[in-house]
Amino acid sequence: MTKPTRQGGMALIEVLVAFGVFGVGVVGTFSMQVAAKRTNYDAAQQSIATSMTRDILARIRANSDVLDAYVVDDIGAEVLPAVGDCTSISCSNLQLAQHDIYEWSKSLSGERERVVIDGNNIASGGLVDARACIKNEAGIVSVTISWRSFSAAIDASTTPCGERFSGENSSDDKFSTLTMTSFVGRP
């Protein structure tokens, strides 16, 4: 008859190895979740930028008589001043273009959508730290928007619309950019 052997401490080692494997799995799942949330955030910002770009291009096409009135170098640092409410009164084409740019600047900064949190009225729509420009070269209209993102396409020092203000952002800030170009014929 064989004598039973003692395995002192083997169960404890197996439990520690199991906890180690489990811990690696939890950390991997957590990091995958963080990466998925960042990607989802960037995709949502890209979708908003695409929608805003299409919106201003549609406004430009609808009022192409004053195409050059839509050309702007830098929108987004702050909302442009109101020029009149063309939704309730009749406006000239030039006034309508100015109103369109005003409304679009409000959309970029999120001022068109507001929520109240703890008594504070906070802008909730728009893009994060967005800047935009509209250029026209012989009817070829380019709309460019840049915004803060997790995955960088450009650094904080420049945007396709020109340089950002020095000291406004740290050197490790990341920005994405979207440019849409379309031909807009004059009637």
E strand residue ranges, the chain: 72-75, 114-117, 120-123, 131-137, 140-148, 154-155, 158-159, 162-163, 174-183
Say if residues 129 and 145 touch (Cβ distance below 8 Å). no
Name which of 127, 104, 103, 107 is nearest 178 in CA terms.
127
Is residue 5 domain-resident? no
Q: Is the pTM of this model over 0.85?
A: no
Is residue 139 domain-resident? yes
φ, ψ dihedrals at 149, nearest 5°: -145, 175
Domain total of the chain: 1
Name which of 179, 187, 183, 186 is nearest 52 in CA terms.
179
What the block records as the tokens of 3 is 């004598």
Which is more confident, 76 or 40?
A: 40
Is residue 6 domain-resident? no
In this predicted structure, the answer to whether residue 20 has a pLDDT above a threshold of 80 is yes
Structural domain boundaries enclosing 79: 11-183
Greatest pairwise CA separation for the chain in angstroms = 107
Model pLDDT, residue 171: 54
Is residue 122 domain-resident? yes
Convert the pLDDT of each residue in 77-136 to its tens digit: 666 666 777 778 888 888 899 899 988 988 888 877 777 888 887 777 788 888 899 999
Is residue 96 domain-resident? yes
E strand residue ranges, 17-128: 72-75, 114-117, 120-123
The whole-angstrom separation of Cα 152 and Cα 163 is 16
